[in-house]
Amino acid sequence: MYNVLDTAAHILVFNGFEPQYVVLLVILVLLLCVSALVSGSETAFFSLTPAHISSIRKQSSRADQAILKLLSMQDYLLATVLIANNLVNICIVLLSSYILSGVVTFGGAPVWEFLIKTVVVTFLLLLFGEIMPKIFAAYNSLRFARMISVPLLGLKHLFKPFSCILIRAGSLVSESMARKRADISMDELSNAIEITGNQTDEEKQMLSGIVSFVNTEVEEIMRPRVDVVALDETADYEEVKRTIISSGFSRIPVYRENLDHILGVLYVKDMIPYIGRDAGFEWQKFLRTPYFVPEHKKINDLLEEFQADKVHMAIVVDEYGSTVGLVSLEDILEEIVGEISDESDNEESFYRKIDDHTYLFEGKTHLNDFERVAGLEEDYFRDVRGGAESVAGLMLEIKGDFLKKGESVGSHGILFTAESLDGRRIDKVKVVLPG
C-alpha cells in the first residue's frame, strides 16, 4: 500500500492555489454558467408551443418582445447559439487546462494528464454545460426563454457578421446536396427503366416521359407560331363560326394586327348560347385574359401554374415578347402518357403510311412523334438535330441550307425527301426507313 501511494504522489503533485488561480477558477465557473444558459436557450426557444407564443404576443415586456424578434429570425437565432456556445466551451477547455497545469504537476504519466485534462473536463462540461441545462429548459421553456432572451438578442447583433457567413455557407451546401440528390435520382430512374424487362413498350415510354418531364421546356412541346389558329379582332361573327368549325379547337387566341399582339382568348363554350346571331354580333366582349409564358419555362412548373390558376392554354413568347407558339394542358400531359386522341383528332393527320418502309409526313411533325411512329428510340437524332424540333427542321440541320423540291438528305440510314414546299418551308416529307 505504501508503494502505491508513494507512486501516486509522484504522478500527481498538488502545488496549491495561488491568488491568480483563484480568480481564474471564479471566471471558469462563470463561463460554465454562461455555457449552461446558452445551451439551454436553444432547447427553450425551440420547445415553445403555439400556446406559449400566443401568451407572449399578449405581453409587452422587453423579454417577450425579444423572444418574438428572435423567433422571427430562427436561422440567426440558431447561428448565434452555436457560435456563442462553441466560443464559451473553447474558453472553458483552454482555461481549465491552464489552471490544472499550474495547480497540479503531472509526473511522468501522460495518461493521467490526458484523463484529467480531457476526459474529466469534457464530462463536467457536458454534464453542467449541456445536459442539465437542456433538461431544465425543456421543462421550463417559457421561463427560461424569458430569462435569456434579452442577452441573446444582444449576442445576435454582436455575432451577426459571423452568423451571415455561417447561414450562407449552410445554404450553399444544402443547395449543392439537393441538386446532387436530384441528379442521382434521375440517373437511377433512367437506369432502372433501361434494365427493366417486364414492362411493355407503352409502359416504358410513359416511365421515360415521367423521368424526362422535369427537364423538358415549353418550346419543345408547343405548337409553333405558323400552326397557331387565331382570329383577328376585326373578324365578323360568321368568320368566327367558320374558324371554330374548321379548326375543332375549344379555345382560340384573338389578336390585333398580328400574333405579336394577343388581346385575349375566345372560349367556344361561351359562344354556344349565341350560335344563331348574325355577322354583326359583338363576340369580342367575351374574350378572356390570355396567359403568357416564356419559351424556356419547364413544363413541370407550367403544369403547377395551370393547376393553380385553372388555365388550360398559354401563349408562348420569346425574350423580346414576340409570340412563338401556343401550349395547352393536353400538350403537357401527352409528354407523359403519349398521344391523346379525341373526336376532333385524326391519328393519320400528320403522316400517311405508304408501305412498310415508306411514310409521308408533314414537315412540321415533332421529332418525338416521328420517332414514335417510325419505331425509333427516343432522341434518336440527338447527334445531328441541333436545335431542330420538327422533321423539316432536322432536314435543314442535316443539309445546313434550304432544300429544293425533290431534294433528299440522309442520316442514320434514313432518307428524307422534300416532297412539297410552301415557299421555303418544307410542307411534306417522304421518309424511307432502312429495310
- Regarding whether 22 and 139 lie in a shared domain, the answer is yes
DSSP code string of 231-244:
EETT--HHHHHHHH
Per the structure, the complete domain to which residue 25 belongs is given by: 2-158
Q: Is 418 within a domain?
A: yes
Q: Is 346 within a domain?
A: no
- Regarding whether 84 and 37 lie in a shared domain, the answer is yes
Q: Is 151 within a domain?
A: yes
Counted domains in the chain: 4
Distance CA 429, CA 365 (A): 10
Strand partners, 12: 106
- Regarding whether 181 and 117 lie in a shared domain, the answer is no
Write the DSSP symbol of residue 296: T
- Regarding whether 13 and 112 lie in a shared domain, the answer is yes
Distance CA 328, CA 223 (A): 9
The grid coordinates of residue 427 equal: 410542307
- pTM: predicted TM-score of the whole model, two decimal places: 0.45
- Regarding whether 185 and 132 lie in a shared domain, the answer is no
pLDDT of 333 reads 81
- Regarding whether 200 and 154 lie in a shared domain, the answer is no
Residue 258, domain CATH: 3.10.580.10
| CA neighbours closer than 13 Å in the CB half-sphere of residue 217 | 12
Minimal CA–CA distance to 417: which of 374, 371, 363, 373? 363
Identity of the residue numbered 320: Y
Q: How many residues does the chain have?
A: 435
Parallel, antiparallel or unpaired: strands 358-362 and 351-355: antiparallel
Torsion sign, CA atoms 98, 102, 108, 112: negative
Q: Is 317 within a domain?
A: yes
Q: Is 32 within a domain?
A: yes
Residue 369, domain CATH: 3.30.465.10
- Regarding whether 136 and 25 lie in a shared domain, the answer is yes
Minimal CA–CA distance to 226: which of 259, 263, 266? 259
- Regarding whether 256 and 316 lie in a shared domain, the answer is yes
- Regarding whether 175 and 131 lie in a shared domain, the answer is no
Q: Is 338 within a domain?
A: no
Q: Is 164 within a domain?
A: no
**In a structure prediction context, what are the per-residue pLDDT tens digits for the chain, which is 435 residues long?**
434 344 444 556 666 667 777 888 888 889 888 888 888 888 888 888 888 888 888 888 888 888 888 888 888 888 888 888 888 888 888 888 787 777 777 665 566 666 777 777 788 888 888 888 889 888 888 888 889 888 888 888 888 888 888 888 877 776 666 555 545 555 555 555 555 555 566 565 555 656 566 678 888 888 888 888 999 999 999 999 999 988 888 899 999 989 999 999 999 999 988 888 888 899 999 999 999 999 988 888 888 888 888 888 999 998 888 999 999 888 888 776 666 555 455 444 678 888 888 999 988 888 878 888 888 887 788 888 887 888 888 999 888 888 888 999 998 889 999 998 888 888 899 999 987
Minimal CA–CA distance to 82: which of 109, 42, 112? 42
Q: Is 277 within a domain?
A: yes
pLDDT of 5 reads 41
Rg of the chain over CA atoms, in angstroms? Answer: 37
- Regarding whether 130 and 12 lie in a shared domain, the answer is yes
- Regarding whether 323 and 229 lie in a shared domain, the answer is yes
- To 10 degrees, the CA torsion angle through 71, 72, 74, 78? -60
- Regarding whether 326 and 239 lie in a shared domain, the answer is yes
